[in-house]
């Protein structure tokens, strides 16, 4: 198991290896995201996601991301902040203990990637570009990671990984724009609205998205909770340079949000882009409803979100493809 997941660990710990050589600038961030449907008592569809890294400058994928950002927002004029992340997503059908093919259900699939991020703030607006490069298929280690985790926690063994989508290199270029607006107060608490919009292009997914969230709390910084999707995390020095609330030791807020996506392609549903493999009929409109809480004490920040996702593909029974999962984020500022 350790030998098989070693490539993921090497990718994921690149920022930590750099930290051992040189302390990052004040305001840099290390972030860990974990998404799983364990607490929702399901084990299906988008069943696991992990992403870690942070806001640190390495001359890898961040420089292309910074160039794309300058083309999208040429008049922003602010400093461009950089970051590097590694991650893995795992997808399965509803019944993971069946060894035979399930052509009418979601294909088995995994995605292992390395992402470079660039972002910029202008007034109350945040623009972020993330470029992800990686692999789908058996080389993404979905079978090994899920099987090892299930052995550890005593869950049923997943038996259908030999039906997963085939090996293929894959990429994403994602842009996400957020803005925040103070809309009122409730006693000593502030209320903010944070709309967002963006687009993703690539052989993993191609989509447009729009939505927003409402949050209520005290000493709120950033643009809502940091999230695992491309462009979802704040980077190096962002809070210290732009957020007066960061001077306070304690920050907290509750939030509720909506994200709607118009999906033109999803490799985990449509099947591999260049090779024949399993696939299902994708729904073009997908939405997430989120509800959660975020807490920061000094340099440590924790967010917990429950996500309810609409059906992503057509199933034999109505609402058969809906799911719930939880998203946990740990952030540490330097």
pLDDT reading at 25 higher than 70: no
How would residue 134 be classed by pLDDT, with cut points 50, 70 and 90?
very high
Residue 220 φ/ψ, nearest 5 degrees: -70, 135
Alpha helices in 155-262 (DSSP H): 238-242
Residue 110 φ/ψ, nearest 5 degrees: -145, 155
Task: Report yes or no: 194 and 210 within 8 Å, Cβ to Cβ.
Answer: no
Better-scored residue on pLDDT, 312 or 58:
312
Tell me what the mean pLDDT of segment 184-208 comes to. Answer: 95
What distances in angstroms separate CA 10 from CA 110, 171, 192, 253, one per listed residue?
Answer: 18, 19, 39, 34
pLDDT reading at 142 higher than 60: yes
Q: How many domains does the chain have?
A: 1
The CA distance from 81 to 102, in Å, is: 44
What distances in angstroms separate CA 289 from CA 95, 145, 231, 305, 319, one per listed residue?
Answer: 24, 28, 18, 10, 15
The CA distance from 121 to 79, in Å, is: 8
Q: What's residue 106's pLDDT?
A: 93
What distances in angstroms separate CA 145 from CA 40, 47, 53, 271, 284, one per listed residue?
Answer: 20, 12, 19, 21, 30
pLDDT in tens, 211-270: 999 999 999 988 999 899 988 887 766 766 666 666 788 999 999 999 999 999 999 999
Which class for 108: exposed (0-12), middle (13-18), buried (19 or more C-beta within 10 A)? Answer: buried
Largest pairwise CA distance in the chain = 59
Task: Report yes or no: 271 and 277 within 8 Å, Cβ to Cβ.
Answer: yes
Q: What is the overall mean pLDDT for the chain?
A: 86
CATH of the domain at 264: 2.40.128.140
Task: Report yes or no: 180 and 192 within 8 Å, Cβ to Cβ.
Answer: yes
Q: What's residue 58's pLDDT?
A: 59
Q: What's residue 13's pLDDT?
A: 43
Residue 69 φ/ψ, nearest 5 degrees: -60, -40
- Return the closest-CA partner of residue 85 out of 209, 266, 233: 233
Alpha helices in the chain (DSSP H): 2-12, 14-21, 62-72, 142-153, 238-242, 267-270
pLDDT reading at 20 higher than 50: no
Task: Report yes or no: 202 and 172 within 8 Å, Cβ to Cβ.
Answer: yes
Q: Is 139 left (phi over 0), alpha (psi -120 to 50) or beta?
A: alpha
Q: What's residue 17's pLDDT?
A: 44
Paired strand residues for 74: none
The domain in which residue 209 lies consists of: 2-333
The CA distance from 265 to 269, in Å, is: 8
Fill in the DSSP letter of residue 25. Answer: P
pLDDT in tens, 150-182: 998 888 999 999 999 999 999 999 999 999 999
Fill in the DSSP letter of residue 162. Answer: G
Q: Which residue's entry shows tokens 């997808």?
A: 91
Most confident of 103-107, 235-239, 286-290, 299-303: 286-290
Task: Report yes or no: 17 and 57 within 8 Å, Cβ to Cβ.
Answer: no
pLDDT in tens, 6-18: 444 444 444 444 4
pLDDT reading at 62 higher than 90: no
CA angle 75, 193, 209 (to 5 degrees): 65
The CA distance from 95 to 97, in Å, is: 6
From 70-79, 84-93, 111-120, 191-200, the region with the lowest mean pLDDT: 70-79
Which class for 268: exposed (0-12), middle (13-18), buried (19 or more C-beta within 10 A)? Answer: buried
């Amino acid at each position: 198991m350790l030998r098989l997941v070693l490539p993921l660990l090497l990718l994921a710990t690149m920022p930590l290896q750099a930290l051992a050589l040189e302390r990052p600038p004040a305001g840099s961030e290390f972030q860990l995201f974990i998404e799983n449907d364990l607490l929702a008592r399901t084990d299906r569809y988008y069943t696991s996601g992990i992403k870690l890294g942070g806001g640190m400058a390495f001359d890898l994928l961040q420089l292309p991301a910074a160039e794309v950002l300058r083309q999208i927002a040429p008049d922003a004029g602010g400093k461009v902040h950089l970051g590097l992340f590694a991650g893995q997503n795992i997808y399965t059908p509803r019944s993971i203990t069946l060894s035979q093919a399930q052509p009418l259900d979601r294909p088995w699939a995994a995605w292992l990637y390395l992402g470079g991020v660039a972002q910029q703030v202008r007034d109350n607006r945040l623009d972020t570009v993330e470029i992800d490069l990686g692999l789908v298929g058996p080389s993404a280690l979905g079978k090994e990671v899920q099987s090892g985790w299930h052995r550890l926690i005593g869950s049923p063994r997943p038996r259908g990984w030999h039906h997963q989508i085939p090996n293929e290199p894959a990429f994403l270029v994602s842009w996400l724009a957020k803005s925040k607006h103070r809309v009122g107060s409730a006693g000593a608490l502030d209320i903010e609205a944070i709309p967002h919009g963006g687009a993703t292009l690539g052989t993993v997914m191609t989509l447009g998205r729009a939505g927003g969230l409402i949050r209520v709390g005290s000493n709120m910084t950033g643009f809502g909770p940091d999230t695992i999707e491309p462009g979802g995390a704040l980077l190096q020095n962002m809070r210290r340079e732009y957020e007066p609330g960061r001077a306070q030791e304690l920050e907290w807020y509750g939030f509720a949000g909506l994200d709607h996506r118009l999906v033109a392609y999803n490799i985990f549903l449509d099947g591999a882009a260049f090779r024949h493999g399993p696939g299902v009929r994708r729904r073009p409109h997908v939405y997430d409803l989120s509800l959660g809480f975020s807490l920061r004490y000094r340099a440590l920040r924790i967010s917990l979100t429950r996500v309810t996702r609409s059906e992503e593909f057509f199933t034999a029974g109505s609402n058969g493809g809906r799911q719930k999962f939880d998203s946990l984020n740990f952030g540490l500022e330097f």
